[in-house]
Structure 1
Amino acid sequence: MKFLFDLFPVILFFGVFKFAEADKTKALEWVTLYLSSFMADSALQEKDAPIVLATAVAILASLVQIGYLLLRHKKVDAMLWLSFAIIAVFGGATIYFHDDTFVKWKPTILYWCFGLALLVSQLFMKKNLIRTMMEKQVSLPEPVWPRLNLAWIVFFAVMGVLNLYIAFNYPLDTWVNFKMFGSMGLMFAFIIGQSLFLSKYMKDEQ
């Protein structure tokens, strides 16, 4: 359930974009009606309406996520705050300038922030964040934890580069599909590969 909750903005972004792509005239009407006051000028082209509308919905969805947790007096994870801040800034720029370049950078910035947090914590704070999150669930030999942390750093770095490559070398629709399915599939594949790698160490420990 938490997995779907975390993906709520991405799912809405994808759904709204596909709906708006199917009827760009209607999407332009809605953007003009509800978002024109947030844009630098009113010269929005019909082809740009779907990404602007989808971005606005993603920002709103992220805000709803945080509001829901606060109303229920639950802790808002730092990653959720970071994700909201990035989509608000880069998504807001996409709406203001009606330019999809900014929102295309959002996943990359988020991936690189995650990777940088892992790297800085390990090098300067001598704290392995992956270990902090996982050691209650799994017991691993001491030398494995730094390697696991490094694997996540590399994964986030590669995902950031891959997002930019897809975003700026393929049509917008391809990037939206990759954002919804490609990145999620790669994440699952990495986690499965990681689990297979760690299983032998967990058996050794037992």
Structure 2
Amino acid sequence: MTPAPKKTAAGLFFGGLLPVIAFTLIEEYYGIIPGLIAGMIFGLGEIIWELYRHKKVQKITWIGNGMLLGLGAISLISSEGIWFKLQPALMEGAFAIVLWGSLIVKKPLLVYLAEQQGQQFPEIIKSRMAGITFRTGVFFAIHAVLATWAALEWSTTNWALLKGLGLTVSFILYLVIEAVLLRRIVLKQRSE
């Protein structure tokens, strides 16, 4: 069974949130090593839950939680939580590169993902998707820099807020702005 587009989008933004919450709470009260172990257990739990629930694990879950487990292991070895905290920044940076790379091959990732879900864009919107894809890459690149700064300099609680709430709210606001601008362009071209 293929996950619905809404489930895939929700997985992108909310996936990995339980490990962050577990890490943050346990680290605050019991220290870095128990926090890392808790975060890694919840990361593995997300993979197992998705496999149980959907009989398949989405690629984004494998990548995100795989990185979380790998960086968590490095953090355990070094006894520093910084590697674990860098996972969101690395994911966002990689996503920015993938978005920009899709433009180089002349197949904007956002169009490709929509088509994979059976959606078709009107030509007027499809012609604007390269610009939206580029700007979305810029959004994720900026957020990756902010997430790196948060991992290095912010408290664990503030870092977790940026990872969970900050990314979600800022991306929703960004999408609303893109939608309003795209709607204006479409209405203007239809009236001409």
TM bucket by the smaller chain?
A: 0.7 to 0.9
Amino acid at match of 1:103: F
User: Which whole-Å CA distance do the structure 1 matches of 2:81 and 2:127 have between them?
Assistant: 43
Cα pair 1:108 1:161 within 8 Å, conserved = yes
Aligned twin of 2:144: 160
Residue among 17, 34, 38 paired with 1:10: 17
User: Which whole-Å CA distance do the structure 2 matches of 1:121 and 1:4 have between them?
Assistant: 22
User: Which whole-Å CA distance do the structure 2 matches of 1:193 and 1:184 have between them?
Assistant: 14
User: Which whole-Å CA distance do the structure 1 matches of 2:98 and 2:141 have between them?
Assistant: 12
User: Which whole-Å CA distance do the structure 2 matches of 1:166 and 1:105 have between them?
Assistant: 9
Aligned twin of 1:196: 180
Within the alignment, does 1:59 sit opposite 2:66 as a pair?
no
Aligned twin of 1:98: 79
| SS of the residue 1:127 aligns to | coil
Amino acid at match of 1:101: I
Instruction: Calculate the aligned-residue CA RMSD, in Å.
Output: 2.7
User: Which whole-Å CA distance do the structure 1 matches of 2:101 and 2:36 have between them?
Assistant: 34
Note the C-alpha offset of 1:97.
Answer: 2.6
| SS of the residue 1:118 aligns to | helix
What per-residue deviation string (whole Å, max 9, x for no partner) do you get for residues 49-95 of structure 1? Answer: 453134223322332244235xx444x43323221321121122123
Gaps of 5+ in 1: 25-46
Note the C-alpha offset of 1:162.
Answer: 0.6
Within the alignment, does 1:113 sit opposite 2:90 as a pair?
no
Cα pair 2:20 2:39 within 8 Å, conserved = yes
Aligned twin of 2:3: none
Where in structure 2 are the equivalents of 1:146-157 lying within 5 Å? 146-157=130-141
Within the alignment, does 1:131 sit opposite 2:138 as a pair?
no
User: Which whole-Å CA distance do the structure 2 matches of 1:107 and 1:5 have between them?
Assistant: 14
User: Which whole-Å CA distance do the structure 1 matches of 2:168 and 2:49 have between them?
Assistant: 20
| Length-normalised TM-score, structure 1 | 0.73
Aligned length: 179
| Length-normalised TM-score, structure 2 | 0.77
Cα pair 2:36 2:75 within 8 Å, conserved = yes
User: Which whole-Å CA distance do the structure 2 matches of 1:204 and 1:137 have between them?
Assistant: 21
* Higher Rg: 1
User: Which whole-Å CA distance do the structure 1 matches of 2:159 and 2:79 have between them?
Assistant: 17
Cα pair 2:44 2:65 within 8 Å, conserved = no
User: Which whole-Å CA distance do the structure 2 matches of 1:16 and 1:171 have between them?
Assistant: 13
User: Which whole-Å CA distance do the structure 2 matches of 1:188 and 1:155 have between them?
Assistant: 11
Cα pair 2:96 2:140 within 8 Å, conserved = yes
Where in structure 2 are the equivalents of 1:73-92 lying within 5 Å? 73-74=55-56, 76-92=57-73
Aligned twin of 1:42: none
